[in-house]
Amino acid sequence: MPKTTKSNTQLVVSGLLNENPIFRLALSMCPAVGLTTTVMNGLLLGVAVLFVQVFSSCTISLIRNHIHPRIRIPTYTLTIATWVTVIDLLLAAFVPVAYKAMGIFVRLIVAFAIITMRLEVFACKNDLVPSFWDGVGMGLGFLFGMTLLGGVREILGMGSFLGYDLLGFRPLLFFVLPAAGFFTVGFMMAIFNYVETVYNRRKKERMA
């Protein structure tokens, strides 16, 4: 991909919708399945990923002219690892209870394909400002996906949202089972696909 021609708003919107990391690019699936039993967990990990993505993108786009192409992947990895350490220590210090609930996933952000991929295809070819907005878009897209999944699972499974009781009963307790993460992601992906096909068909009809 050469230097981007998109405006900042376009970058953010594409990260949120048509290049959504979870539903469209299908990267970083582990937390989307394993950690979305409640909205809160999804939200917090989403914020952590947003943080790491934005800061890593900025770092790489600042030093991109000094990286030898042959060692670019190790450089990305170490940059991400540094920012993950920062957010890991921050979360452990300020929100210890939630940090414990997220378990090992915060540290595993370091192996999330989405971040490395954005550095490789975007940040290492673009200036600081577009890289920043691309990071924001991708991070927000991830946050959006995690919250959506967490919301669906919490409402269907527990009948509550963010811990507040909404329905007063539990419609489908099955959805809070850890294994149901796979089903939820599968159904959501199918819905995204369906919406896309319908949208494209409408567009074609309008053109014709």
Partner 1 sequence: MIQKFRSYGLAVSMILVLALFAGCKNEHHTIRQAEFSDSHAITITFASPVDADWAKNPANFAVCEKQDPDILADIASLILTPDGKKLTLKLAEPLNQNNHHTVTLKEILSDGKSGGTADVTVKKSYAGYLIQILIGAMIIQNFVFSKYLGLCVFFGTSRKKSTAVGMGITFTIVICFASLMSWFFYQFVLKPFHLDYLQIVVFIGLVSLTVQGVDTILRKVNPKLFKAFGVYLVLVIANCIVIAVPLMLANNEYNVWESLMLALGAGLGFLIALFLMSSVRERLEFADIPKSYQGLPIAFIVAGLFALSFMGFSGMTLF
- Least separation, in Å, of the C-beta of 140 and partner 1? 20
Using the minimum distance from each CB to partner 1, give the nearer residue, 27 or 143: 27
- Could you tell me if 63 and 175 are in contact, meaning their C-beta atoms sit under 8 angstroms apart? no
User: And the tokens for 47?
Assistant: 């914020």
Distance of CA 179 to CAs 32, 106, 143, 153, 160, Å? 12, 20, 21, 11, 19
- Least separation, in Å, of the C-beta of 194 and partner 1? 4
- DSSP string computed for 59-84: HHHHHGGGS-GGGHHHHHHHHHHHHH
If you ran DSSP here, which 8-state letter would residue 88 be given?
H
Using the minimum distance from each CB to partner 1, give the nearer residue, 161 or 183: 183
Phi and psi dihedrals of 165, rounded to 5? -70, 120
Using the minimum distance from each CB to partner 1, give the nearer residue, 167 or 198: 198
Using the minimum distance from each CB to partner 1, give the nearer residue, 101 or 128: 101
- Least separation, in Å, of the C-beta of 14 and partner 1? 20
Which residues sit at the interface with partner 1, rule CB under 8 A?
Answer: 26-30, 33-34, 73-74, 77-78, 81-82, 84-85, 88-89, 104, 107-108, 110-113, 116, 177-183, 185-187, 189-191, 193-194, 197
- Least separation, in Å, of the C-beta of 98 and partner 1? 18
Q: Which residue has the tokens 């919301």?
A: 151
